[in-house]
Amino acid sequence: MTIPIWVYAVVVGIVISALMAIKTGREERQLEMENIEQEGEIYMKRLEREREKKEGLEATGE
């Protein structure tokens, strides 16, 4: 009982598809983490500017 060659082709296609899905998922997670880090840096810079502004106002006595 031999297995037709198209069955092997389907199995190879499924394996390749799974590998590509894993690769794409990793890339998307990495890009998402980079985006989150950038947003965090922007937020921290804004907090620092507000703190400096507040300290500047307190130093002048206003």
Q: 13-42, pLDDT tens digit by residue?
A: 999 999 999 999 999 999 999 999 999 999
Residue 47 in any domain: the answer is yes
Determine the structural domain holding residue 42 and report its residue range: 24-56
CA atoms within 13 A on the CB side of 47: 6
Classify residue 61 by its DSSP letter: T
pLDDT at 56: 83
Is 44 part of a structural domain of the chain?
Answer: yes
d(CA 32, CA 11): 32
Q: What's the predicted TM-score (pTM) here?
A: 0.62
- Distance between CA atoms of residues 44 and 38, nearest Å: 10
Domain count, the chain: 1
In the DSSP assignment, the letter for residue 40 is H
In whole angstroms, give the CA distance from residue 31 to residue 15. Answer: 25
